[in-house]
Each structure stands twice: as structure tokens, then as C-alpha cells.
Amino acid sequence: MPTTKQTSLTELAEPSHDQQHQHQHFKIFKPYGFLSQFLPESRKKKHLLGELFNFPEKTMAIGRLDHDSEGLLLLTTDGMMSYKVRDKAIEKEYYVQVDGVITVAVISQLQKGVDIAINGTKYLTLPCKAFKLDGEPQLPSRGRKIRDSRHGPTSWISITLCEGKNRQIRKMTAAVGFATLRLVRVRIGDIHIDSLIAGDVVTLANFDAALNR
């Protein structure tokens, strides 16, 4: 597993005049405790994406991961690309560690959709893909202890959504009686987190094509 930030060879070359006017795209492993933004919130001292890499001007995050969520986040200087990635046709897959031993019946509930609250209004989530993982997935350490194992067993599940309501997965697992302990996004379309570790940044030539290979 790499221990240093990953960069493409193209970053080492001096860009041509034409390249300077082309949009740039990135995939990163957003660490725990970082906001998915570049501008700070008022009176809040939180880690921001600009601390991870010298991104070009007008780089924006596509969608977001919450402060306490981790994993794959796409960034671009092309605002139109943001609409494509957030489309419901593009799947987003997450690995979720939950408190307790999850059952087949609970997985079925998640697949069919559960009621959660969105801005104080009840919302039924769309049908999704969900299954229990065989053991703990190969992910880098979060850097902050989840909890003491003496507090009981945990389970890992995969949930794939085509929507993205505020804190949706945490609300979904809570609705079926399982608190989310760790949440890591591992895939957007056909772009995967691969072997990245927290804070890694990789330049992508064209993730428009990679989304739907």
C-alpha cells in the first residue's frame, strides 16, 4: 500500500499553451475530519481540501462527503462535469461498518427502501444494492479509533446508491437499528478508490469516459 501521495507523471511536465486552457480532474481519498470544500465556514476551524494538494484555481468538489465520512471524492474545474456525476444514472458505492451483527432480513429492508427524515419530512429511500461483506475490507486506518472491540461485534456491508440525500446512509442504517461507525465511499460509476490512502490525490485525464466504461 502506498505511503506517499500519488501524482501522475503529467503533473511533472510543463503544460503547453493548449493544456493550460483545458479543464483538470482529480480523484482523492478524502480523510476523516475534512470538509468537502475549499472555503472555510464562519467561526469553524475545520480541515479543508486545499490542504491536501496544490489544486488549480476554480477546482470544485463534485458532491460531498460529510466531515466524518471518508473515501472517494471527485474534483474538477469543469462545472458541467458536476451535473453528470451527480446524475441518478451514476452509482455510488460505500463500505459501511455498523454496530452489531447485521442480518439477511435487515439487508433486505435496506434494499427495498426505508423511511428517513429529510429536513423534518419523512422520505422513503429508493431501492438500492446492499449486501454483507465477508470480513473487514482492505481499507487504510481511519487515524482515529472507532471504538473498543469489547463493546461488541460489528459488521461491514456494501451499499450502492443512485441518490445522495444528506447523511442518507447513516440515517438508513439507523432506521433499521444499526448505527454507522465508519463510512467509506469506494466507487463512483466505474471510478474506484483502488489502493489510495487518506489524503492521496490522483490526476485523471478524463473521468467522463471512466464513469460509464
Instruction: Evaluate whether 27 touches 204 at the Cβ level (below 8 Å).
Output: yes
SS (H, E, C) the chain: CCCCCCCCHHHHCCCCCCHHHCCCEEEEEECCCECCCCCCCCCCCCECHHHCCCCCCCCEEECCCCCCCEEEEEEECCHHHHHHHCCCCCCEEEEEEEECCCCHHHHHHHHHCCEEEECCEEEECCCCEEEECCCCCCCCCCCCCCCCHHHCCEEEEEEEECCCCCCHHHHHHHHCCCCEEEEEEEEECCEECCCCCCCCEEEECCHHHHCCC
Catalytic positions: 66
State the maximum Cα–Cα separation within the chain, in Å, rounded to a whole number: 59
Question: Rounded distance, CA 187 to CA 96, Å?
Answer: 13
Nearest CA among 182, 96, 162 for reference residue 133: 96
